[in-house]
Amino acid sequence: VTEEENAAELQKTKAVPTVNRLTVDVVELEALRKSVEDFFCFCYGKALGKSTVVPVPYEKMQRDRTAVVVQGLPKGLAFKHPMNYNVSTLKWILENKSRISFIIKRPFLEPKKHLG
């Protein structure tokens, strides 16, 4: 085996963990986002008085910030879709679930369907 082949083989072995680590990070990030989203849906359903999860209307909540209050987030952290949080924020939310709750101040009304 030549020195060049040894060097090439060494590069391959060094590169593999980096690639695997990136894949693990992406998988972990997606799992964290999904967990936080599921938790937020559970909290929203609970605030509506339901025992099931209810999809969070993120866009409506962003437009009307007084309709639903999210309590228990760290001071200065705005409520938003989990896709917009970094890993450490997602982990903090999951580690502090017992502190976080939603309060419906004013329900979002669906537009009435016109008959005929």
Asked whether residue 11 carries a pLDDT value surpassing 60, the answer given is: no
The whole-number pLDDT of residue 40 equals: 98
Region 8-17: mean pLDDT is 50
With bands split at pLDDT 50, 70 and 90, how would you rate the model's confidence at 26?
confident
Domain ranges of the chain: 21-104
Q: Are 69 and 106 in contact (CB under 8 A)?
A: no
Asked whether residue 2 carries a pLDDT value surpassing 70, the answer given is: no
Q: Are 60 and 80 in contact (CB under 8 A)?
A: no
User: What is the percentage of the chain residues whose pLDDT exceeds 70?
Assistant: 72
The whole-number pLDDT of residue 106 equals: 86
Instruction: Report helix angle 3-47 to 87-95, nearest 10.
Output: 40
pLDDT digits (tens, 9 = 90+) for 60-114: 999 998 999 999 998 999 999 999 999 999 999 999 999 999 999 987 766 555 5
Domain 21-104 has what CATH class? alpha beta
